[in-house]
Amino acid sequence: MPHYHKLGEIPHKRHTQFRKPDGTLYSEQLFSTEGFSSHYSLLYHCHPPTEITKVDEPYSVAPRIAEEKMLKHRSFQGFNIAPAPDFLDSRKAVLVNNDCQVVLAAPQQSMQDYFYKNADADEMIFVHEGAGILHTQYGQLPFGYGDYLVIPRGTIYQLSFDNAQNRLFILESYSPIRFPKRYLSQYGQLMEHAPFCERDIRQPQNLQTIDQAGDFLIRIKKKGMMYPIHYAHHPFDVVGWDGCEYPFAFSIHDFEPITGRVHQPPPVHQTFEGNNFVVCSFCPRLFDYHPLSIPAPYNHSNIDSDELLYYVDGDFMSRKHVTRGMITLHPGGIPHGPHPGAVEKSIGARETKELAVMVDTFHPLQVTEAALAIEDQQYVMSWAE
């Protein structure tokens, strides 16, 4: 999805001899998430990336589904997910379907003694609290509050955090996470009407080649199982790479809201998409400027989609009792809209400071046991107040 980029040393032609100072060959690897028919990158390793030395017993990390079918407005207190020292242990899937998983995480420590690879899904990690560096074979991506980290499936990575206070909203997508097609020219450039451009996309930097032999554990997630696999050489032994498939960062604070004389529909906030879902960013913006405009959103029916909203910061004039990290889920099939009194209260307001991430899925989401543990049971009746 990002444009062509390269770091480090690469040969003049692909698939040709590229030798180390001692005369031996570097090991070329093609990395693509859709075979040989889409974006790819070529990486050049000091050692073959295939040297497995040991395989430990796999274990299940599949979410435990509590409700497969439901038709009820729901709310979950995301910050009630308990922090955990380890990054992988801290990840709790709360809403899932066959297209994606919505995960909350509150890791307290950096990944130090292992690496991680999601072999099933692209990952979009939204950083609600915390800062640090994403380390990959492609280089480093510093991150902080408000950043989306988009990591293609199959990418080996480590996260290092600056401190123990971290809150992450993670979307795992079983299809590539990409920019909306309507934003792109036929050649893939973000066009003038898009709410962000290539200058806002942060690419990996500071490529460090770590040529080390030893015992390097990579935990690989595949089909709901975690496979601990040991390799003979450090996975970040890349001396150079080029291509169009790599992790990148985009800050929600760089999203430029589209406004109008009357209330604009959610698609103007779209940021990413995958098969059967979209991701939107609700950012601080001026309200509608028609003299009779109503800034509060109108009631609407989600006939074809489940609407999930993750509240980040600011005031939300359409909702009562909003807290940071709160998730609302409005399933397809029944209408929803502003809470009582919100419409009249919004009239005359000039701007909003709200910050939120929305995920609309076109197939129903299932509720996990982890979600039930943090649910606000009274939310469904909140329109009757």
d(CA 225, CA 59) in angstroms, rounded, equals: 6
Looking at beta carbons, which pairs linking 285-291 to residues 24 or more positions away fall under 8 Å? 285/257, 285/259, 285/351, 285/352, 286/259, 286/350, 286/351, 287/259, 287/346, 287/349, 287/350, 287/351, 287/352, 288/259, 288/260, 288/261, 288/262, 288/263, 288/264, 289/259, 289/261, 290/261, 290/262
Is 306 labeled as ligand-binding? yes
Establish whether 234 is an annotated binding residue: no
Distance of CA 325 to the CA centre of its chain: 15
263 counts as catalytic: yes
Sequential DSSP letters for 61-93: ----EEESS--S-EEEEGGGSPPBSSHHHH-EE
39 is in an annotated binding site: no
- Measure the CA–CA gap between 63 and 66, rounded to whole angstroms: 9
Residue 263, number of CB atoms within 10 A of its CB: 16
73, 230, 253, 263: which one is catalytic?
A: 263
**Based on the number of CB atoms within 10 Å of its own CB, is 381 exposed (0-12), middle (13-18) or buried (19 or more)?**
exposed
| Helices of type H across 153-196 | none
- Total Cβ atoms within 10 A of residue 72: 12
Q: How far apart are CA 90 and CA 167, in angstroms?
A: 10
Residue among 343, 371, 352 at smallest CA distance from 65: 371
Beta bridge pairs of residue 359: 279, 308
Exposure class string for 223-252: b at 16+ Cβ within 10 A, else e: eeebbebbbbbbbbbbbbbbbebbbbbbbb
Token couple for 194:
């898009």
Cite the annotated binding site by residue number. Answer: 300, 306, 336
Catalytic residue positions, numbered:
263
Cite the annotated binding site for Fe cation by residue number. Answer: 300, 306, 336
Cite the annotated binding site for homogentisate by residue number. Answer: 336
